[in-house]
Amino acid sequence: MASMMCADYGCLANEVRELDEGGIDSFHIDIMDGRYVQNFAMSLNDLKCIRAHTDKPLDVHLMVEHPINTIDLFIGSLKKGDTIYIHPEAEYHPSTTLQKVINAGLVPGIAINPGTSVETVGMMLRIVKKVLVMSVNPGNAGQMFLPYVRQKYEKLLMYNDKLDFDIYWDGACGADKIREFAPLGVRGFVLGTTLLFGKKAPYRETIAKIRKMEF
Protein backbone atom coordinates (compact mmCIF):
# COMPACT_ATOMS: atom_id res chain seq x y z
CA MET A 1 0.00 0.00 0.00
CA ALA A 2 1.15 3.53 -0.74
CA SER A 3 2.08 5.77 2.20
CA MET A 4 0.37 8.94 1.05
CA MET A 5 2.15 11.24 3.48
CA CYS A 6 5.13 10.76 1.12
CA ALA A 7 3.20 11.85 -1.98
CA ASP A 8 3.59 15.14 -3.86
CA TYR A 9 0.94 17.43 -2.38
CA GLY A 10 1.29 19.89 -5.22
CA CYS A 11 -0.71 17.44 -7.35
CA LEU A 12 -2.33 15.01 -4.92
CA ALA A 13 -5.24 14.02 -7.15
CA ASN A 14 -2.85 13.18 -9.99
CA GLU A 15 -0.63 11.20 -7.62
CA VAL A 16 -3.63 9.13 -6.58
CA ARG A 17 -4.67 8.45 -10.17
CA GLU A 18 -1.16 7.45 -11.25
CA LEU A 19 -0.72 5.13 -8.28
CA ASP A 20 -4.15 3.61 -8.88
CA GLU A 21 -3.48 3.07 -12.59
CA GLY A 22 0.00 1.81 -11.73
CA GLY A 23 -1.49 -1.09 -9.78
CA ILE A 24 -1.21 -0.10 -6.13
CA ASP A 25 -3.43 -2.25 -3.91
CA SER A 26 -4.50 0.40 -1.39
CA PHE A 27 -3.75 3.84 0.02
CA HIS A 28 -2.36 4.35 3.52
CA ILE A 29 -3.37 7.66 5.12
CA ASP A 30 -1.53 8.86 8.23
CA ILE A 31 -3.56 11.29 10.35
CA MET A 32 -1.49 13.04 13.06
CA ASP A 33 -2.70 15.58 15.61
CA GLY A 34 0.57 16.99 16.94
CA ARG A 35 -0.25 15.57 20.39
CA TYR A 36 -0.10 11.79 20.22
CA VAL A 37 2.94 12.25 17.97
CA GLN A 38 5.02 15.39 17.60
CA ASN A 39 4.04 16.02 14.02
CA PHE A 40 1.08 17.12 11.93
CA ALA A 41 0.50 15.07 8.81
CA MET A 42 -2.53 14.38 6.68
CA SER A 43 -5.95 15.90 7.25
CA LEU A 44 -9.56 14.92 6.85
CA ASN A 45 -9.65 16.93 3.61
CA ASP A 46 -6.67 14.99 2.25
CA LEU A 47 -8.54 11.78 3.01
CA LYS A 48 -11.65 13.04 1.20
CA CYS A 49 -9.57 14.02 -1.83
CA ILE A 50 -7.99 10.58 -2.05
CA ARG A 51 -11.33 8.84 -1.55
CA ALA A 52 -12.83 10.91 -4.39
CA HIS A 53 -10.15 9.87 -6.89
CA THR A 54 -9.91 6.12 -6.34
CA ASP A 55 -12.13 3.13 -5.67
CA LYS A 56 -9.23 1.23 -4.09
CA PRO A 57 -9.39 0.57 -0.31
CA LEU A 58 -8.13 3.21 2.09
CA ASP A 59 -6.21 2.37 5.27
CA VAL A 60 -6.59 5.25 7.72
CA HIS A 61 -3.98 5.27 10.49
CA LEU A 62 -5.13 7.53 13.33
CA MET A 63 -2.14 8.79 15.32
CA VAL A 64 -4.33 10.99 17.49
CA GLU A 65 -5.23 11.26 21.17
CA HIS A 66 -8.63 9.83 22.12
CA PRO A 67 -9.85 8.94 18.62
CA ILE A 68 -13.31 8.26 20.06
CA ASN A 69 -13.83 12.04 20.00
CA THR A 70 -13.34 12.38 16.23
CA ILE A 71 -13.87 8.88 14.86
CA ASP A 72 -17.27 9.75 13.36
CA LEU A 73 -15.66 12.35 11.07
CA PHE A 74 -13.47 9.67 9.54
CA ILE A 75 -16.15 7.00 9.46
CA GLY A 76 -18.40 9.37 7.51
CA SER A 77 -15.73 9.90 4.85
CA LEU A 78 -15.05 6.22 4.18
CA LYS A 79 -16.85 3.33 2.55
CA LYS A 80 -17.24 -0.38 3.19
CA GLY A 81 -13.90 -2.18 2.86
CA ASP A 82 -11.87 0.74 4.17
CA THR A 83 -9.85 0.30 7.37
CA ILE A 84 -9.36 2.45 10.46
CA TYR A 85 -6.40 1.75 12.75
CA ILE A 86 -6.18 3.20 16.23
CA HIS A 87 -3.35 3.10 18.77
CA PRO A 88 -4.60 1.34 21.93
CA GLU A 89 -2.46 3.60 24.16
CA ALA A 90 -4.24 6.68 22.80
CA GLU A 91 -7.64 5.63 24.15
CA TYR A 92 -9.08 4.93 27.60
CA HIS A 93 -11.34 2.20 26.22
CA PRO A 94 -9.99 1.18 22.81
CA SER A 95 -12.47 -1.66 22.39
CA THR A 96 -15.33 0.89 22.46
CA THR A 97 -13.73 2.86 19.64
CA LEU A 98 -13.08 -0.29 17.64
CA GLN A 99 -16.72 -1.31 18.07
CA LYS A 100 -17.81 1.96 16.45
CA VAL A 101 -15.64 1.07 13.46
CA ILE A 102 -17.18 -2.39 13.31
CA ASN A 103 -20.72 -1.05 13.63
CA ALA A 104 -20.07 1.29 10.69
CA GLY A 105 -19.20 -1.67 8.45
CA LEU A 106 -15.52 -0.73 8.23
CA VAL A 107 -12.48 -2.88 8.95
CA PRO A 108 -11.16 -2.49 12.53
CA GLY A 109 -7.42 -2.39 13.10
CA ILE A 110 -4.86 -1.54 15.75
CA ALA A 111 -1.40 -0.08 15.30
CA ILE A 112 1.34 -1.30 17.63
CA ASN A 113 4.25 0.98 18.47
CA PRO A 114 7.79 -0.40 18.81
CA GLY A 115 7.56 -0.01 22.59
CA THR A 116 4.17 -1.73 22.90
CA SER A 117 4.26 -5.41 23.78
CA VAL A 118 2.06 -7.94 22.01
CA GLU A 119 0.82 -9.16 25.39
CA THR A 120 -0.83 -5.80 26.21
CA VAL A 121 -3.05 -5.98 23.12
CA GLY A 122 -3.78 -9.70 23.29
CA MET A 123 -7.52 -9.38 23.94
CA MET A 124 -7.99 -6.85 21.14
CA LEU A 125 -6.53 -9.33 18.68
CA ARG A 126 -9.83 -11.17 19.04
CA ILE A 127 -11.90 -8.32 17.59
CA VAL A 128 -9.62 -6.66 15.02
CA LYS A 129 -9.07 -7.75 11.44
CA LYS A 130 -5.75 -5.98 10.87
CA VAL A 131 -2.67 -5.34 12.99
CA LEU A 132 -0.27 -2.65 11.78
CA VAL A 133 3.14 -3.19 13.35
CA MET A 134 5.31 -0.09 13.53
CA SER A 135 8.94 -0.96 12.81
CA VAL A 136 9.88 2.67 13.53
CA ASN A 137 8.61 5.15 16.11
CA PRO A 138 5.42 6.81 14.83
CA GLY A 139 5.34 10.36 13.57
CA ASN A 140 7.86 10.78 10.76
CA ALA A 141 8.85 9.15 7.48
CA GLY A 142 12.42 8.16 6.61
CA GLN A 143 13.40 6.59 9.95
CA MET A 144 15.69 3.61 10.50
CA PHE A 145 14.33 0.11 11.18
CA LEU A 146 14.37 -0.92 14.86
CA PRO A 147 15.73 -4.49 14.90
CA TYR A 148 14.05 -5.55 18.15
CA VAL A 149 10.64 -5.23 16.48
CA ARG A 150 11.44 -8.44 14.58
CA GLN A 151 10.46 -10.47 17.67
CA LYS A 152 7.06 -8.77 17.71
CA TYR A 153 6.28 -10.01 14.23
CA GLU A 154 7.27 -13.51 15.26
CA LYS A 155 4.91 -13.42 18.26
CA LEU A 156 2.02 -12.03 16.24
CA LEU A 157 2.47 -14.67 13.57
CA MET A 158 2.03 -17.30 16.29
CA TYR A 159 -1.25 -15.67 17.40
CA ASN A 160 -2.24 -15.44 13.77
CA ASP A 161 -2.49 -19.23 13.55
CA LYS A 162 -5.43 -19.16 16.00
CA LEU A 163 -7.12 -15.78 15.48
CA ASP A 164 -8.63 -14.03 12.44
CA PHE A 165 -6.43 -11.02 11.71
CA ASP A 166 -3.83 -10.03 9.13
CA ILE A 167 -0.44 -8.48 9.92
CA TYR A 168 0.92 -5.43 8.10
CA TRP A 169 4.33 -3.77 8.13
CA ASP A 170 4.74 0.00 8.55
CA GLY A 171 8.06 1.87 8.50
CA ALA A 172 11.48 1.55 6.85
CA CYS A 173 10.17 -1.02 4.40
CA GLY A 174 12.93 -2.08 2.03
CA ALA A 175 13.02 -5.00 -0.38
CA ASP A 176 14.95 -7.04 2.19
CA LYS A 177 12.04 -6.80 4.66
CA ILE A 178 9.50 -7.92 2.06
CA ARG A 179 11.68 -10.85 1.03
CA GLU A 180 12.09 -11.94 4.66
CA PHE A 181 8.62 -11.40 6.09
CA ALA A 182 6.15 -11.92 3.23
CA PRO A 183 6.90 -15.69 3.10
CA LEU A 184 6.39 -15.85 6.88
CA GLY A 185 2.86 -14.49 6.64
CA VAL A 186 2.99 -10.68 6.79
CA ARG A 187 0.09 -9.75 4.52
CA GLY A 188 1.08 -6.28 3.33
CA PHE A 189 3.64 -3.50 3.51
CA VAL A 190 3.29 0.28 3.71
CA LEU A 191 5.57 1.66 0.99
CA GLY A 192 7.15 5.08 1.39
CA THR A 193 10.34 6.76 0.28
CA THR A 194 12.48 3.61 0.52
CA LEU A 195 10.81 1.80 -2.37
CA LEU A 196 7.96 3.78 -3.93
CA PHE A 197 8.12 7.57 -3.74
CA GLY A 198 10.79 9.91 -5.06
CA LYS A 199 11.95 7.59 -7.85
CA LYS A 200 12.55 8.70 -11.44
CA ALA A 201 10.49 5.91 -12.97
CA PRO A 202 6.68 6.05 -13.34
CA TYR A 203 4.74 4.43 -10.51
CA ARG A 204 3.61 1.63 -12.83
CA GLU A 205 7.23 0.56 -13.42
CA THR A 206 8.22 0.91 -9.78
CA ILE A 207 5.23 -1.10 -8.54
CA ALA A 208 5.92 -3.83 -11.12
CA LYS A 209 9.54 -4.05 -9.89
CA ILE A 210 8.36 -4.28 -6.29
CA ARG A 211 5.98 -7.12 -7.10
CA LYS A 212 8.76 -9.02 -8.88
CA MET A 213 11.34 -7.98 -6.26
CA GLU A 214 13.72 -6.82 -9.00
CA PHE A 215 16.10 -4.96 -6.68
Q: Which of 59, 164, 170, 176 is catalytic?
A: 170
CA-to-CA separations, 82 to 3, 47, 101, 205, in angstroms, rounded? 15, 12, 10, 26
The 8-class DSSP code of residue 198 comes to T
- Domain 2-212 falls under CATH 3.20.20.70: yes
List, for residues 24-35, the tens digit of each pLDDT value: 999 999 999 998
Catalytic site includes residue 30: yes
Going edge to edge, which strands form the sheet with 130-134?
Answer: 2-3, 27-32, 58-63, 83-86, 107-112, 130-134, 166-170, 188-190
Mean pLDDT value of segment 169-189: 89
Q: 132 pairs with which residues across the strands?
A: 111, 168
Mean pLDDT value of segment 114-118: 89
How high is the pLDDT of residue 144?
Answer: 66
How high is the pLDDT of residue 139?
Answer: 59
Mean pLDDT value of segment 108-136: 92
One-letter amino acid for residue 202 of the chain: P
Indicate if the pLDDT at residue 19 is higher than 90: yes
Indicate if the pLDDT at residue 54 is higher than 60: yes
Is 123:97 a contact under the CB 8 Å cutoff? no
How high is the pLDDT of residue 215?
Answer: 54
How high is the pLDDT of residue 140?
Answer: 64
What is the distance between the alpha carbons of residues 145 and 171, in angstroms, rounded to a whole number?
Answer: 7
Catalytic site includes residue 46: no
Spell out the domain ranges in the chain. Answer: 2-212
Q: Which of 20, 30, 46, 59 is catalytic?
A: 30
Task: Classify residue 106 as left (phi > 0), alpha (psi -120 to 50) or beta.
Answer: beta
